[in-house]
Amino acid sequence: MGWTSSVPIFHDNITFILQPEIPHNVLSFIDDVGIKGPKDWKIVNGKPAKHPANPNICLALWEFFELLKRVLQQMKYCGGTFSGHKLVLCAPTFKILAVDTSYIVVRYYLCQCTSDNCKECCYNCFGSITLNDREARFSQPKLELYGLYQVLQALQMYLIGVRNLIIEVDARYIKGMLQNPDIQPSTSMNCWIMAILMFHFDLVHIKGTFHGPDGLL
C-alpha cells in the first residue's frame, strides 16, 4: 500500500466524495470515516424527545441515522471502485460458514446472504488449513470435528457475536458428537466441543455432491 501511495489516494477520494458533509458532520482519517452524533438530546417532560410519527423511536437517534444513511448513500453511488453497490444496510441477513475436512486439508468459505433466499450470497472469504502428519491420522469423525474447531478459531474475529450463523457440513454425525461429549473431561475432543459451542449457530447437513468447499484446494 505504501509503495503505490494507495493510502493517501484513498483518503483523497473519500474526502472528495464526502466534501458536502466535512467538517460539520463527517471527519475522514485515511480509510476511516467518523460520523458525528447528535449535538444535543431534546428533552420533553424529562425524557428524550420521540419521533412525531412513531413514539417508540428517539428523535435524536432518528436524526443521526438519517445522516448515516445519507453518508453511506453518497459513498454507495459515487462511482467508486470499492464495490459500494454490494452494500446492504440494516438487513438481518444470515451468515453461512461451509466446512469440509479431508485427511490433507480443511476447506471452508464464509458468505452472507443478500436476502431471505440463502442461495443469493456475497462471499466474504475462502480458505484452507493444512493438517500435519499427526492430525491426518485422526479418525474421520474426529477429523470432521477438529476441522470445524480449526475453522471457527481462524474466523473468530468475523463470527464472535453473530447470532444468525448457519454452519454447513457434509458429515451428519457432527451434531451428535457436539451433543454427546466424552465422559472424561480432559479429552482433547471435549476441549474442541467446548470451543465450538461458544458460538451461536445452526448446524445444517449438506450432501457431499452439493457441498461447495469440496471444490476448494
For residues 40 and 69, membership in a common domain is answered with yes
Q: Look at residues 69, 86, 103 and tell me which one is the last residue of a structural domain.
A: 86
For residues 71 and 135, membership in a common domain is answered with no
The pLDDT score that the predictor gives to residue 131 is 92
For residues 58 and 101, membership in a common domain is answered with no
Q: In this structure, what C-alpha cell is assigned to residue 8?
A: 493517501
In a domain, 74, yes or no: yes
In a domain, 115, yes or no: yes
Q: How far apart are alpha carbons 171 and 175 in whole angstroms? A: 9
For residues 58 and 139, membership in a common domain is answered with no
Domain residues for 198? 95-215
For residues 177 and 81, membership in a common domain is answered with no
Q: Look at residues 56, 86, 116 and tell me which one is the last residue of a structural domain.
A: 86
For residues 66 and 107, membership in a common domain is answered with no
Angle formed at CA 194 by CA 188 and CA 198, multiple of 5 degrees: 150
In a domain, 40, yes or no: yes
| Pairing mode of beta strands 43-44, 47-48 | antiparallel
Cis previous bond, 23, omega within 30: yes
Residues 159/97, Cβ–Cβ less than 8 Å: yes
pLDDT digits (tens, 9 = 90+) for 140-159: 889 999 999 999 999 988 88
The pLDDT score that the predictor gives to residue 212 is 58
In a domain, 1, yes or no: no
The pLDDT score that the predictor gives to residue 115 is 65
For residues 62 and 82, membership in a common domain is answered with yes
Q: Decide if pLDDT at 215 tops 70.
A: no
Q: How far apart are alpha carbons 116 and 109 in whole angstroms? A: 19
Q: Look at residues 57, 86, 115 and tell me which one is the last residue of a structural domain.
A: 86
pLDDT digits (tens, 9 = 90+) for 145-196: 999 999 999 998 888 878 788 888 888 888 888 888 877 766 888 899 999 9
Q: Decide if pLDDT at 205 tops 80.
A: yes
pLDDT digits (tens, 9 = 90+) for 64-108: 888 888 887 887 777 655 555 555 555 556 788 888 888 889 989
In a domain, 15, yes or no: yes
State the pTM of this model.
0.56
